[in-house]
Structure 1
Amino acid sequence: MFEPEKQLVGEWVLDVRPEEVRVLVSGFQSWSEAELRPLTDLQAVPMMKWRHEQGHDPAFLPSGEAGVWRSHTLLALVRPDGSGWVGCAVDAAHTFTHWEARVDGQQVRVTCTSEGPAVEVAWQDTADVIGTLETLSAQLGRNMNAITPTPLRVWCSWYSYYRDVTLENMLDNARLARQHSLPFDVFQLDDGFQADLGDWFEPSSHFGGHASELPAQLDALGFTPGIWLAPFLASPTSKLFRDHSDWMLRGEDGQPLPVGNNWGGPYYTLDTTHPEVLNWLRELSATVRGWGYTYLKLDFLYGAALPGVRHDPSIGRAQAYRNAMQALRDGAPDAFILACGAPLAGSIGLVDAMRTGPDVAPYWDEESRRVWLGDATGPSARNALHTALSRWYQHSWYQPDPDVAIVRRELSLLNHHERGSIAGMLDIIGGLRASSDPISMLDEEGLALLHRCLQISTPDRPTTLAQSFGGAVTHFSRGTFNLTNQSVTNLPAHAYLEQRL
């Protein structure tokens, strides 16, 4: 694999017993795992290579070793009394910053390396890890001119219809939302409207129209029109790939580089150091903005930041990603941009909102994949909560998007406690509010829970990082989560207990 060049930024040896320390880490992109774990535990690395690209940074993977923890942009080590150490990059526009904490005998060794131009990092021994982490992450946001607009309430087609969505599905749900006085701001069309991955301007055979026909009808119902794009990706069957295979990121063999496996097979990503690619990206966002879409969900964005052989080898991965996002922003300067599957800190200042965890799903856990294959980046309610809660501090970088509430009881394996935990996560994280349930499926109880989930809230703060029910940040001032499979104290498995104030 192509290995980007890295530079040592700093190294620190901590005189602390490793078994007394917890470590808080954050992965590279939206779906990469964020955790709060004992330092002596093992950080899992997926066994499936294609998940290295699709869920992580293949140039800085989780360690797969007990007592070795890797993190992107920032790292925190926590003593039992809440004191400890916090490291954080002060800028992420041109450089990827990598942290590693390693058990070294009866000490802990922390190293920080960077990929890209030299960048300053902060490293603080602190009596208050929570406060210091929030302060440093907020400083990073200010340095990069973070955009933190008013949160929106969004209905999305994905978890209702997946790729089988039709124009009429969208309008049926929009009409029902009005009928039930559901306070959505945005109705967002997700994957399935397009002919192929990369062929965004041609409709799929089943959609029942063209995506350009939807905005005016949503406007008439009082909703902001939104649309999903995976702007950097191309299916091998697409016209984009057939006509412009020279635009693709390449491997060392000179061939287009597969960067994941979805939609029934592998797919490729655009090389965003190619000037013609940047022009195409500007035209793409300008075209859908011209159709009337002012809310853009841009997905699978990690593709522009993967290691590979680029048209212009002088442009590093972080800058290649940043340039691509700037091109999309330039094409639709007034659009609200939600990024997903995206390098987190590298997106600050260019996106309005960011997915901060894996997809929610209508089931609690896919344990076989998570435990046996070492991959907690896939869809599940448990994975979404685990990672989004452990990134509570990122509301100073953009509006966080912890993904959708699932309140329906049909076509769902979630129980009452699990639905309540997702609702609790939305309240704790703040940021966007989203739903994807077919509104016709919701009974009175479901509609009541949905109304609750659509209530905008301010982000909450943890009360401790020295205790956890499930390997993540679970104790907040407004409530406590139990992400384990057993009851703990007065909390059933998978439940959320709201703190009555």
Structure 2
Amino acid sequence: MREWHLPVRVEALKVLVSGYQSWSEAELRPLTDVQARPAMAWRHDQGHDPGFLPSGLGGVWRSHTLIALVRGDGGGWVGGVLDATRTFAQWETRVEGDGVQVTRTLEGPEVPVVWEETADVTAAVEALAARLGRAMGARQPAPLRVWCSWYSYYRDVTLDAMLENARLARERGLPFDVFQLDDGFQADLGDWTRPAAHFGGHARDLPGPLRELGFTPGLWLAPFLVGPGSQLFAEHRDWLVRGPDGGPLPVGHNWGGPYPVLDTTHPDVLPWLRELTATARAWGYPYLKLDFLFGAALPGVRFDPTVGRADAYRRGLQGLRDGAGQDAFLLGCGAPLAQSIGLVDAMRTGPDVAPYWDDHTRRVWLGDGTAPSARAALHTSLSRWYQHAWYQPDPDVAICRRELSLLSAEERGTVAGMLDVIGGLRASSDPIRMLDEEGLNLLRRCLEVSRTDRPRTLTRSYGPAVTHFTRATFNLTDDWQDGQPPHSVRGPA
């Protein structure tokens, strides 16, 4: 552990933090504010690092890998590490006495640590992120334009629905590169090679027709998760991370209840993971979205107790990369962020977008800002602008449809503005037949690839996030701000 004491006026400071994984909140807040801690215990596993949770206390802020304190003049202090391969770096700032106490704890092997005062926090954060990316061999492929099935069909996706949308995209000249089949094609979590009864075929039946239409086939997998009713669970219970009672560690609450996770330190698990992604490649999928990856790094009892959590995660992800091949495009999601550098090509950098602005009750009363919503995606993805040095950022999909959506035209445009500012992947999931001319025009705009923008300032914001960029200013609040309406994006002036 390392500690630093800053004898400064705390009322004048803001803190920039980034949560542990894709969906964990990243924020820019007054230092004296309260960092929310979810009331629901299962969200500790699924939205945060249960080994280093948000504090829930006023004046105490926790961050993973990188942290910054910002003065009113734009200067301040920045802390980070230069290697996250096998180590979680956990930062805490605490208002204490006549100033701020900063603590850095490493879970895993010792790594080089940076803590510096700077006259320009924005530039220092970007430089430190770039150093970490270079040190870990960040992959920087060209960004892709992706259509995925999730926000159209959820788990009811069918082979026919995929092909219908691909044909419509080609007929209407929509410039997608990839068509991604999301969750719902498989019989169960872990039983990836067995099709769901409703799917109307097999995942291996899709790549050929997609390629004939000119699209790269993409496939969603949650490779570390195991359905409690799956064949994998029945046959290989010894492959699972265990809880304190010796049984499989129960995680999350998707798919109707908790699910176990694979233990990547078990000698039979890594070959199984390599075979899984190799099989997907053999089916014809060079683009793989790997979701719910946090499962491999949860606290628990593993086959090899000498392997730390970060190392266990990295071993599993390396196995998936080895099976897929170096030429595969891997998109991480729900993943420990810095620990994925050098193995993924792209990374989800915020919670899921949703066809509504905010889940206010869950965010405010239950302390869970990781739930899907347009606001949550903006709030966190904008505050991680610097992570483009680690991988192609994926701020999630545009919402261009008016049907089956509670987003206003202003709010749909604000999501589009986020895609432009963040750069990286461009994605859509609207049923293409549902889009009118206005929706198609917005979609075409959202598919225009752009370079990542940078903040004009970290000393002002319209909401508890980074909102003032050189190309756009976002108002994430529910009130007018300096003549800008709520939930909107405008030019930088």
- Which TM class, normalised by the smaller chain length? over 0.9
1:146 matches 2:138:
yes
Aligned residue-pair number: 492
Helix, strand or coil at the partner of 1:475: coil
Paired with 1:89 and 1:367, the residues of 2 have a C-alpha distance of 34
**8 A contact 2:86–2:310 mirrored in 1:** yes
Paired with 1:49 and 1:252, the residues of 2 have a C-alpha distance of 16
Paired with 1:332 and 1:140, the residues of 2 have a C-alpha distance of 25
Amino acid at match of 1:270: L
Residue deviations 1:454-487, cap 9 Å, x none?
0000000000001110100000000100000011
Q: How do 1:57-456 residues align onto structure 2 when only pairs under 5 Å count?
A: 57-333=49-325, 334-456=327-449
Greater Cα shift, 490-499 or 286-295 = 490-499
**8 A contact 1:298–1:340 mirrored in 2:** yes
Residue deviations 1:105-127, cap 9 Å, x none?
22001000000011111011000
Paired with 2:146 and 2:314, the residues of 1 have a C-alpha distance of 26
How far apart are 1:498 and its partner, in Å? Answer: 2.7
Residue deviations 1:374-422, cap 9 Å, x none?
0010100000000000000000000000000000000000001110110
Paired with 2:414 and 2:235, the residues of 1 have a C-alpha distance of 47
- Structure 1 match to 2:457: 464
Amino acid at match of 1:438: P
Paired with 2:238 and 2:475, the residues of 1 have a C-alpha distance of 50
* Unaligned stretches of 5+ residues in structure 2: none
How far apart are 1:499 and its partner, in Å? Answer: 4.0
Report percent identity of matched pairs: 71
Paired with 2:317 and 2:438, the residues of 1 have a C-alpha distance of 41
How far apart are 1:198 and its partner, in Å? Answer: 1.1
- Structure 2 match to 1:473: 466
Residue deviations 1:139-194, cap 9 Å, x none?
00000000011000000000000000000000000000011100000000000000
- Structure 2 match to 1:25: 17
**8 A contact 1:29–1:302 mirrored in 2:** yes
Paired with 1:86 and 1:249, the residues of 2 have a C-alpha distance of 36
Paired with 1:172 and 1:472, the residues of 2 have a C-alpha distance of 39
Paired with 1:292 and 1:26, the residues of 2 have a C-alpha distance of 36
Paired with 1:242 and 1:138, the residues of 2 have a C-alpha distance of 45
**8 A contact 1:424–1:498 mirrored in 2:** no
Helix, strand or coil at the partner of 2:63: strand
Helix, strand or coil at the partner of 1:233: coil
Amino acid at match of 1:401: D
How far apart are 1:275 and its partner, in Å? Answer: 1.3
Residue deviations 1:263-297, cap 9 Å, x none?
11111100000110101000000001100001000
Paired with 1:204 and 1:487, the residues of 2 have a C-alpha distance of 48
TM-score (norm 2): 0.99
**8 A contact 2:17–2:26 mirrored in 1:** yes
Residue deviations 1:342-395, cap 9 Å, x none?
000000000000000000000000001000000010100000000000000000
Helix, strand or coil at the partner of 1:269: coil
| Aligned-CA RMSD value | 0.7
Helix, strand or coil at the partner of 2:268: helix
Paired with 2:205 and 2:170, the residues of 1 have a C-alpha distance of 20
Helix, strand or coil at the partner of 2:187: strand
Helix, strand or coil at the partner of 1:297: strand
Paired with 2:7 and 2:127, the residues of 1 have a C-alpha distance of 25
Helix, strand or coil at the partner of 2:427: strand
Paired with 1:202 and 1:42, the residues of 2 have a C-alpha distance of 47
- Structure 2 match to 1:4: none
Paired with 2:340 and 2:476, the residues of 1 have a C-alpha distance of 29
Paired with 1:380 and 1:192, the residues of 2 have a C-alpha distance of 21
Paired with 1:265 and 1:226, the residues of 2 have a C-alpha distance of 27
Amino acid at match of 1:472: A
Paired with 2:112 and 2:307, the residues of 1 have a C-alpha distance of 20
* Unaligned stretches of 5+ residues in structure 1: 1-7
- Structure 2 match to 1:34: 26
How far apart are 1:252 and its partner, in Å? Answer: 1.8
Amino acid at match of 2:136: M
**8 A contact 1:258–1:267 mirrored in 2:** yes
- Structure 2 match to 1:5: none
How far apart are 1:489 and its partner, in Å? Answer: 1.3
Paired with 2:5 and 2:82, the residues of 1 have a C-alpha distance of 21
